[in-house]
Amino acid sequence: MKVTAIITNFNMPERTDALVEHIHRYEDCEAVVVDNGSDLCPPSKYTTVKLNSNIQTTGGWLEGLKVAKGADFYWILGTSAEFIGVPVLDAMLKCMKLYSHCVGVHPALTKNSTTSWEHLKGIGMSGYRQVWMIDNIAALWRAKWFDSVGGFDPRFTYAWGPDLELAYLARQDDRTLYVSEPEGMKKVTDIGYKMNRMGMDAEQRRHLARTNMREVMTDKYGPDWAKVMYVE
């Protein structure tokens, strides 16, 4: 089974390199690194596609997906992901084999991950647990299904919204999403801003991302989109 891992890099070469070097541990997994217009730091030494300007995260993933044709699985990664040594891809692929209706799986986050998605954090169990949404910061998607539903809407510029929409489409299609236990990844939110490499501060980007997501979701699903997307 061919897995293509797609990573967007913007002024974070050391973290991108660490992700690629983790990916190189696995057979039949290739890395596609899209440099999203880095201007403060050199690009990752593993860069596949070099963009002249920053088109933000979703745009970078879309450029990577153009290279990933023929993959059985897309592994969508962001530089806030930090693997802690567990062979997460093996476990995620096993989940896909066990559950034929599974279209997406995510490694369990560490307890100290700085993320609002509490349901993705490890809870100390073995195996897999079904969840309502997975985060594209380290999501493995079944490529055939992903492509069939249109993948990422390019209007979600800042990568806020594609995870919610894909989860919604999976539920509508009677498909399932899983978290793979035990803990395998730490998410370090806002690390690029703390390193002063993003060209704006974290709150400015959050404002832009929230506004962008609200506009796209309202256009597609109406003013009550949040009630549709956010499920307990």
What pLDDT, on a 0 to 100 scale, did the predictor assign at position 232? Answer: 63
Q: Whole-model pTM? A: 0.94
In whole angstroms, what is the distance from residue 151 CA to residue 62 CA?
9
pLDDT string in tens for the chain (232-residue length): 899 999 999 998 999 999 999 999 998 999 999 999 898 899 999 999 999 988 889 999 999 999 998 899 999 999 999 999 788 999 999 999 999 999 999 999 999 999 889 999 999 888 999 999 999 999 999 999 999 999 999 999 999 999 999 999 999 999 999 999 988 899 988 887 777 878 778 888 889 999 999 999 999 999 999 999 998 6
Structure tokens at 137: 């910061």
Whether omega before 182 lies within 30 degrees of 0, making that bond cis, reads yes
Q: Indicate the DSSP class of residue 44.
A: P
Q: Where are the alpha helices (DSSP H) in the chain?
A: 13-23, 56-67, 88-98, 143-148, 162-172, 191-194, 202-221, 225-229
225 Cβ neighbours under 8 A, 6+ residues apart: 214, 217, 218
Domain range list for the chain: 3-229
The strand pairing partners of 33, in sequence order, are: 7
63 Cβ neighbours under 8 A, 6+ residues apart: 34, 49, 51, 55
CATH number of 3-229: 3.90.550.10
What pLDDT, on a 0 to 100 scale, did the predictor assign at position 183? Answer: 84
What pLDDT, on a 0 to 100 scale, did the predictor assign at position 182? Answer: 86
What pLDDT, on a 0 to 100 scale, did the predictor assign at position 127? Answer: 93
Give the SS3 label for residue 197: coil
Characterise 88 by phi-psi region: left (phi > 0), alpha (psi -120 to 50), beta (else): alpha
